[in-house]
Chain A
Amino acid sequence: MELSPIEESAGKPDVLAGRPTHQRRNQMKRRVAFLLFSAPAMAWFLIWMLWPLINMFWISLLRWDGLVKKSTFIGLANYQRILSDVLFQHALRNTAIHLAVGLPAVLIPAFILGFFLSLRRPGFRTLRFIFFLPAMISVAALAMMFYGIYMPEGILNAMLRLVGLGAWTHNWLADPSTVLGSIIFIDIWTGIGFYAVLFFAVLSNISGELYEAARLDGASLWTILWRIAFPLSRGFFGVATMLHFLWILTGAAQNVLILTKGGPGDYSLTLGYYLYNQAFVVQRLGYSQAIGVFLFVVGLVGLVLIRRIFGQTD
């Protein structure tokens, strides 16, 4: 897109003589204009996004037990504490379970449903609308909704009794054996439809002729799904995996915060909620940020791994 000098001067031969300085002046002008327009946004971004991130690393090196108390530099002691903290290990285990269950339970059904939608059979528009609906509901509303589903007199138990499975009823959020699963299910409930619609968007770009050719060769739709549609949208499958990975790692903490606060005991304690708990409940600011750094590093390593597995995007 860079203009050649000839094109640039074509309309104004009068400035031809002093072109070198003129050009430089133009470049300066462009640079000044560029900064004039973009510096406010960049400054805002650096101050409220990058600076907090740097601060997280710094605070993780402090002992700081509450806002009104003085902070002291203690080096890596918070990280040493992580190694011997039993609660941290439980949170790590719960987060690992959440990832191991949540990622495949969302992305594989979502891809199959997205492929089905992309065949544009009658009714696909209605289904697409319904599938995307949960993603529009705020975390707070969603958590309150699931509170009503899981409570002892809630709809889940009512429906189990209705179909004669009264023995399966639980106090879902208070029972150690069901609480983590109940938290994980919320993300599965919203995630499948959300990613199905995104996969639908990506698969709609694949030409129908490719499918037709495969059909003529006698391939079933199931074969086409895994042999043609999946390889062609592999990159985006990776992007979706990254998004959901980051959500489970950090965003999902909000469900724990609203519904269980990690309880009963520490049966639903996740790393994301543990960060919040250490910062705003126990007021161990330094330690909470060490957990934050750990999460951040796990997030980056995860992103690199996922990118490796699913190849370059775009």
Chain B
Amino acid sequence: MRASRKSRWVSWLTDGSTPFIVGGYAASALYALVVLIPLYYVVVSAFKTNLTIFTQPLALPKTLSFFNFIRAQEVAVLNRAMLISVGVTVGAEIVTLLLAFPAAYAIARIRTRLAPLFEYIFSLGFLIPALAMLVPVYLMVVKLGLLYQPVSLVIFYPATKLSVTVILLASYLRTIPLELEESAQLDGASRLQMLLYVFFPLARPGVITVLILNFIDFWNEYLFALILLNQRNRTLQIALTIIKTDRSMDYGLVSAGIVMVVIPVCIVFILFQEQIVKGIYAGALKG
């Protein structure tokens, strides 16, 4: 093992591809630096006062003070926003799964000519940009009397992710080899049992992937949360942008807010990096 590793090192130092490899490392390092410096800047600023942010932007904080975090919470009522963000995200996740899993099962496992048609209609969702639906959805929510209610997001968010969720789950369910239902005698009731007790446990990895992907999108959503909710019921994403306008130049506060908003997704990313990349890649391929 060690020997082969060493010979690999030796071979790439001598095989004539060195200029490309060196250039590749240089370009990667440059981009990595351009990515990391702003992130570092935000994290250290969260622990500094505005004065030290402006005079020594890149210096490490002298003390680990959570002052900014406490004040950010006071200025933008972040704990209420956090509660609403969690509620909306969890609610939308549940609705999405309740709708998408049976549909994915039907498309993948019930042989009828409707299945490819439905899959095609769902795939059209990739072509509809959120921005195009902004005004019509706003008007629909007003009509339903749900404007400024977080539940409006719990109802609307699942629709935006049904396309990719149904299609990813269906393609996952197709990989499960199962001759059970081939007796073709099943009615709705026995299919429901099979879905619950056979397919759902078997499909756990696929379900977890779509849950993670949808978590990131629901948690991070900005545009609809902005127009469908009001000051009292805002999500974390909206509250974050309020910190800026309330105290126009206090970047310590803003940084503390950014850190609080980004941390949940970062933890999920660190834990599930493989699934996230694979899921987004598969979703892009289907679109």
Contacts and interface: CB of A to CB of B under 8 A. Distances in A.
A33 B127 contact: no
Contacts of A140: 220, 222, 237-238, 240-241, 261
- The CB with the most chain B CB atoms within 10 A, among A51, A52, A123, A289, is that of A52
Contacts of B285: 236, 239, 313-314
A77 to B, nearest CB: 18
Interface in B240-287: 240-241, 243-244, 249, 251, 254-255, 257-258, 261-262, 265-266, 269, 273, 276-278, 280-281, 284-285, 287
Given A53-B132, A144-B244, A42 B121 contact: yes
Interface stretch (B62-70, B111-119, B202-210): B111-119
A37 B173 CA distance: 15
A39 B104 CA distance: 11
A145 B273 CA distance: 23
B45 interface: yes
Chain B contact-residue range equals: 35 or more
Interface in A36-69: 36-38, 40-42, 44-45, 47-53, 55-56, 59, 67
B163 A45 contact: yes
B139 interface: yes
Interface string B123-137: 011011111111111
Contacts of A306: none
B136 A55 contact: yes
Interface in A218-261: 220-222, 225, 236, 239-240, 242-243, 246, 249-251, 253-254, 257-258
A143 interface: yes
A216 B269 CA distance: 40
A138 B269 contact: no
B184 to A, nearest CB: 5
A37 B183 contact: no
A197 B284 CA distance: 13
Contact of B266 (A35, A53, A127, A136): A136
A51 B136 contact: yes
Contacts of B112: 27, 30-31, 34
A30 B182 CA distance: 12
B106 A33 contact: yes
A76 interface: no
Contacts of B88: none
A56 B128 CA distance: 11
A151 B249 contact: yes
Interface stretch (A81-89, A163-171, A292-300): A292-300
Contacts of B38: 145-146, 149, 155, 189
Interface string B228-240: 0000000001101
A183 B249 CA distance: 20
B114 A34 contact: yes
Given A37-B103, A45-B122, A140-B237, A303 B132 contact: no
Contacts of B53: 153
A132 interface: yes
Given A148-B255, A258-B241, A153 B54 contact: yes
B31 A192 contact: yes
A251 B129 CA distance: 8
Nearest to A292: B132
17 contacts: A26-B185, A41-B102, A44-B162, A48-B159, A53-B136, A109-B31, A116-B28, A121-B24, A132-B269, A132-B273, A139-B237, A140-B241, A140-B261, A148-B41, A202-B281, A220-B20, A251-B131
| List of 10 A-B pairs having minimum Cβ-Cβ separation, nearest first | A48-B159, A138-B220, A116-B24, A52-B136, A41-B103, A55-B136, A37-B106, A221-B20, A37-B102, A250-B129
Interface of A: 1-3, 8, 11, 26-27, 29-38, 40-42, 44-45, 47-53, 55-56, 59, 67, 109, 112-113, 116-117, 119, 121, 123, 127-134, 136-141, 143-149, 151, 153-155, 158-159, 189, 192-193, 197-198, 201-202, 215, 220-222, 225, 236, 239-240, 242-243, 246, 249-251, 253-254, 257-258, 272, 275-276, 279-280, 285, 288-289, 292, 295-296, 299-300, 303, 313-314
